[in-house]
Chain A
């Protein structure tokens, strides 16, 4: 691991200042992905800015839905009574991920920014278009049985987001609150947050340099309350998804009024939407990953 300097921020303004005064610096929250990558010499930030003291905390009901601070940890959110009651699939997606120890460390914001599982990305000995743009992609012809099928490009077939939480968030139209380096906040749908790899696989999200994830807000909905997260993997616990689905149904008097589906594991998580089953189910809405059209249709 490279040597680096360290600064602890207690306000977003401090965090931005610490970050921008030293180019290539990185924020650190749970550190479970960042330090792992730094130990493998995949990234070498000259400074780490500790954002664990930022007031991006709390899980509370607002008029827009359940608001979860980006610094809340995965286990705490997954086990929170409100999350379990209102968004079972979100709770399950969190508690089926990683290990108990990692879930006590990893933050919600960090999880949303989790890096790909692609073995070539995570080994500095290999070229990788995502890590070193233009260097090539050995995964195209290499060991790629765990990588993306949908939403891939000629330059990258990594499942850019290998995690679980964002799949559930996508199914329920969750909104991210972001704060840029000028202190200005904006709202972005999770489904609009991730980018298709195209020719620029190094650019994975719409997050600007230095911009922070402040919170995620999930709108209350009947289908979200009756939901589940299904995860298929190579062993029973503590493994990435080979394929996963977050499914929420709005059932009234025995009739499915709306079905919300999002898929994970085999896609780049640039999620697009389609309403093809609208005839059969008026409220059907699915997130078919990887078409990249970003179109929206609610039947």
Chain B
């Protein structure tokens, strides 16, 4: 459909290509075009110095797999996951540690990946939302969110599910009140809290 607000620019039609894959392709092309020349250079310049400058090769252990990224020290774990490793399940909400959409596990502990530097967690075990399911078998928390309709727009959902899994494992979902407090680092602007609570509490009761 063409209009003043949404002119037909000849982009991919919805029926041919999903919005998501279009965004990924476009983002990738743009990223390639804007990439600084340095990004292609070897990282051995600083290999013998304990001080890392500019772009460095980092190895991150994500969902049990070693993954390599070339990134500056200022790249957050969130940006490394989303922009370099195509693991876009982890969401960027506020990017300031307030909303919890970026929640991942580091050595089994839930943290905000937006306030974590990738360079600082190279020897840690990182788990993202993509690492919860076993093949086609969803994690019980994912099943519970589906059953209880624990989302509307879905943007906060990966963070909510990661936090929910941690909350149960920590033993902090034994009562509604306790669960609410220990899930308070994950905001949901749609207001699906009642259903999120029901999902997390159900998994806790079964655990």
A149 CB–B CB distance under 8 Å:
no
Q: Are B96 and A39 in contact (CB under 8 A)?
A: yes
Chain B residue numbers with a CB within 8 Å of A7 are: 50-52
Q: How large is the interface on A (under 10, 10 to 19, 20 to 34, 35 or more residues)?
A: 20 to 34
Q: Are A5 and B51 in contact (CB under 8 A)?
A: yes
Chain A residue numbers with a CB within 8 Å of B119 are: 6
Q: Are B172 and A100 in contact (CB under 8 A)?
A: yes
A1-26 residues with Cβ-Cβ distance < 8 A to B are 1-8, 14, 18
A215-273 residues with Cβ-Cβ distance < 8 A to B are 236-238
B157 CB–A CB distance under 8 Å:
no
Q: A31-B115, A36-B96 are in contact. Are A101 and B185 (CB under 8 A)?
A: yes
B203 CB–A CB distance under 8 Å:
no
CA of A36 to CA of B166, assembled, Å: 24
Chain B residue numbers with a CB within 8 Å of A104 are: 109-111
B53 CB–A CB distance under 8 Å:
yes
Q: How large is the interface on B (under 10, 10 to 19, 20 to 34, 35 or more residues)?
A: 35 or more
Partner of B117, one of A31, A99, A102: A31
CB distance from B116 to the nearest CB of A (A): 7
A35 CB–B CB distance under 8 Å:
yes
B90 CB–A CB distance under 8 Å:
no
Residue-wise interface mask of B (59-77) relative to A, using a CB-CB cutoff of 8 A (1 in contact, 0 not)? 0000000000000111010
B155 CB–A CB distance under 8 Å:
no
Q: Are A31 and B73 in contact (CB under 8 A)?
A: no
B91 CB–A CB distance under 8 Å:
no
Q: Are A6 and B52 in contact (CB under 8 A)?
A: yes
Q: A31-B117, A35-B117, A36-B96 are in contact. Are A102 and B73 (CB under 8 A)?
A: no
A144 CB–B CB distance under 8 Å:
no
Chain A residue numbers with a CB within 8 Å of B167 are: 100
Q: A52-B120, A237-B180 are in contact. Are A32 and B51 (CB under 8 A)?
A: no
Chain B residue numbers with a CB within 8 Å of A6 are: 51-52, 73, 117, 119-120
Q: Are A236 and B115 in contact (CB under 8 A)?
A: no
CA of A32 to CA of B112, assembled, Å: 9
Q: Are A101 and B51 in contact (CB under 8 A)?
A: no
Q: Are B51 and A18 in contact (CB under 8 A)?
A: yes
Chain B residue numbers with a CB within 8 Å of A238 are: 184-185
CA of A99 to CA of B115, assembled, Å: 13
Residue-wise interface mask of B (111-137) relative to A, using a CB-CB cutoff of 8 A (1 in contact, 0 not)? 110011101100000000000000000
B97 CB–A CB distance under 8 Å:
yes
Q: A4-B73, A31-B115, A238-B184 are in contact. Are A50 and B103 (CB under 8 A)?
A: no
A70 CB–B CB distance under 8 Å:
no
CB distance from B121 to the nearest CB of A (A): 10
Q: Are A8 and B112 in contact (CB under 8 A)?
A: no
Chain A residue numbers with a CB within 8 Å of B52 are: 5-7
A150 CB–B CB distance under 8 Å:
no
Q: A6-B73, A32-B97, A237-B181 are in contact. Are A50 and B120 (CB under 8 A)?
A: yes
Chain A residue numbers with a CB within 8 Å of B76 are: 35
Chain A residue numbers with a CB within 8 Å of B73 are: 4-6, 48
Q: A3-B74, A101-B111 are in contact. Are A8 and B50 (CB under 8 A)?
A: yes
CA of A205 to CA of B60, assembled, Å: 37
Partner of A99, one of B54, B74, B100: B100
Chain B residue numbers with a CB within 8 Å of A35 are: 76, 115, 117
CB distance from A29 to the nearest CB of B (A): 10
CB distance from B82 to the nearest CB of A (A): 16
A237 closest partner in B (C-beta): B184
CB distance from B77 to the nearest CB of A (A): 11
Q: Are A102 and B112 in contact (CB under 8 A)?
A: yes
A124 CB–B CB distance under 8 Å:
no
CA of A247 to CA of B72, assembled, Å: 47
**19 A-B contact pairs sorted by A residue (CB < 8 Å):** A1-B74, A4-B74, A5-B52, A6-B73, A8-B120, A18-B50, A28-B117, A31-B115, A35-B115, A40-B96, A99-B184, A100-B163, A100-B183, A101-B97, A101-B111, A102-B185, A237-B181, A237-B184, A238-B185
- List of 9 A-B pairs having minimum Cβ-Cβ separation, nearest first: A99-B185, A6-B73, A237-B184, A238-B184, A104-B109, A5-B53, A7-B51, A6-B52, A101-B185
